Amino acid sequence: QQQQQQQKMMETEGSKKKETKKAPKKSKEERQEEKAQHNRIFHAIVIKSVIQLALIQTVEWIVLTSTRPESQVEKAPKRTLVGRDGDHTTEHHSHLTAVTQKRLDAEKKALEHPLDEAGEMFGRLGTARLQRLITCLLSSYTFAKKFNADIELRTKLWKAGFMKHRSKPNLLKQETTALSCALRVLFRIYEKGVDDDDENKPKFAKVEEDTLELCTSTITHFVTNVTNDTRSIWVPIMELVIRELMALSDERFTKHASRHYSILAECITLGFEGTLGNLAFLLAAFFERCRKFQL
C-alpha cells in the first residue's frame, strides 16, 4: 500500500509539472499586479513587525522606567552585586600587577554596572498582571525564535523579493528584546517576593521555578544555538542574567548556581571563537562566589 501511495504521489507530481509547463505565460499586466500584491503583503508584514517591537519596548518603559522627575524619586538603596569574596566589593586581588591592572579596571567597571530598578507602575500592576505580560512577551519571543530558526522560510521570502537588497529577513531584534524584557520583569517579581503567609507561598514557588526555567533555557540557547556572527547581540542578555544572579541573596543564589553551574562552565569554552567581553568577568565572579557553597 505504501508503494502504491508513493507511486500515486509521483504520478500526481509528474502531472503537476506537465501542467506547469503547459501553462501560458502571464502578461506584463498580470506580472505587475502579482508583484504589487506581493509588495502589499510584504509591507503589511513590516508594519506588524515594527508595531510588535514598539509594544515590547512600551511595556519595558512602563514597567521598568521611572516617569517622575529625578528630584521626586525616592532615594531607595540601589541593588549591587555580591563580590568575589562574599561582600559587596571587588577590590580584593592578590595577583595585582602592572600587567593585570588594565584587565582588573575593566572587570571592576563591568561588575559595577547599574542593575535594573522597577518603575512606579510595577507595584501598581500586581503580580497577576505582570505574569500575564511576561506570558505575552515570551509568546512574542517564541514566535520570533521559531521564525529565525526556519532558514527555508526566510530564504523563500528573500527570493520572493522580501528584503531583496538586504540579508535574509529575520526577527532577531524582536527575539532578543522580548526575552530581555521578560527576564527583567520576572527578576523584579522574584526580587520583590511575596508575604510569608501560607496562602502566598505557592505563588512565590511558581515565580521562583519560572525564573529558574527561563534562566536555564536562555543560557542553554546561548551555548548551543547562538552562532558566532550573532553572539555579540546575545551577550548583553547573558550579562543581564548573571548580574541578576549575582545580586541574589545566598539562599536564592545557591538554588540557581546548582541549576546553572555546568552550562555556565561550558559557556567559557565559547571563548575559543572570539572575545566574550564583559561576560568573561561576570562568569569569573559567578564561579568565585560558587566556591562558598556545596552545590
Going residue by residue through the chain, which has 295 residues, state the pLDDT in tens, using 9 for 90 and above. Answer: 444 444 544 555 455 455 555 556 777 666 666 667 767 777 888 888 889 999 999 998 888 876 555 544 455 556 666 655 444 444 445 566 666 777 677 767 766 666 777 777 887 888 888 999 999 999 999 999 999 999 898 888 788 776 666 778 889 999 999 999 999 999 999 988 754 455 556 688 889 999 999 999 999 999 999 988 888 899 999 999 999 998 898 899 999 999 999 899 888 878 766 667 788 878 888 888 887 776 6
CA distance 181 to 177: 6
pLDDT of the residue at 282: 85
Count CB-CB contacts under 10 A for residue 48.
10
Q: Kindly report the pTM of this predicted structure.
A: 0.75
pLDDT of the residue at 195: 46
CA distance 162 to 66: 39
CA distance 287 to 242: 11
Q: Which of 185, 68, 54, 197 is nearest to 123 (CA)?
A: 185
